[in-house]
Amino acid sequence: MLLLFTGVFFVHAQKEKVKNQPYIDNRLIHLGFFVGMHIQDMVLRNSGYVAENGESWFAEIPSYAPGFSVGLISDLYLNRYMSLRFSPLLAFGEKKFSYKEANSEQTFSTQVRSTYLTLPIDLRLNSMRLNNYRPYILAGVYGAFDLGRKKDQPILLKGTDFGIQIGLGCDFYMPLFKFCPEIRFSFGLLDLIEKDRSGIQDKQNLKYTEALSSGKSRMISLIFNFE
């Protein structure tokens, strides 16, 4: 709502200029694509598990590695200020896990690489258009499927996730297309730590799974839409 009020204020405060593609937003359906960067994170809960040898490991994600995203856009016009958006994407990235043993100086680090196919549906709320730009916000839900899991790893994440996302951005109307930078925040709702490790080869690595009670995904994305 704040963006809508801000749009109204600027419409009255600034002079009208020649508009690029004045009717592009009136199409029932329009298509596009996007590329972007992101960082993957997880909210970890340690279980306090103590192994038979007395070791107790605690995990965190100490740093973030940038990832890459690419996807398609299909946007359904609802009214002047609302549209429904389906934007499937592929996200390539990794998460770094760092462990520390509570009773000694031992440490252990590993990383989990993921290739997520994400299927989000978002409701997009647009402000009034001011000359050749228009801010917006969006919110929706998504399902994600990890296409690149390697099961014989110290930490294994589940292959499916579900969550909510919110974002904000701005349409810039160019002579031939719309350019729309956007920042998006994604919050997974499911515990992704795979507890069933019956297929793991090195049983010594089971303690790293047992040390975690749960882990939920988080992601921040900077996206550049072309429509």
- pLDDT for residue 102: 86
Of 186, 227, 189, 192, the C-alpha closest to 91 is: 186
- pLDDT for residue 2: 45
| Res. 172: pLDDT tops 80 | yes
Q: CA 67, 119, 155, 151: dihedral to nearest 10 degrees? A: -110
| Cα–Cα distance for residue pair 125/2, rounded to 1 Å | 11
| Res. 137: pLDDT tops 70 | yes
Of 177, 208, 181, 178, the C-alpha closest to 195 is: 208
User: Looking up tokens 């996200």, which residue turns up?
Assistant: 91
Burial class (CB in 10 A: 0-12, 13-18, 19+), 16: exposed
More confident residue, 203 or 59: 59
Cβ neighbors of 27 (< 8 A, separation 6 or more) are 77
| Cα–Cα distance for residue pair 171/147, rounded to 1 Å | 32
Specify whether the CB–CB gap between 186 and 74 falls below 8 A: no
Distances (CA, A) of 192 to 68, 93, 159, 188: 21, 16, 8, 9
Q: How much is the average pLDDT of 9-19?
A: 58
Q: How much is the average pLDDT of 115-133?
A: 94
| Res. 34: pLDDT tops 60 | yes
Q: How much is the average pLDDT of 65-90?
A: 94
Report the run of H or E that residue 117 belongs to, with start and end. Answer: strand 107-126
Specify whether the CB–CB gap between 142 and 185 falls below 8 A: no
| Cα–Cα distance for residue pair 58/48, rounded to 1 Å | 7
Q: Is 171 left (phi over 0), alpha (psi -120 to 50) or beta?
A: beta
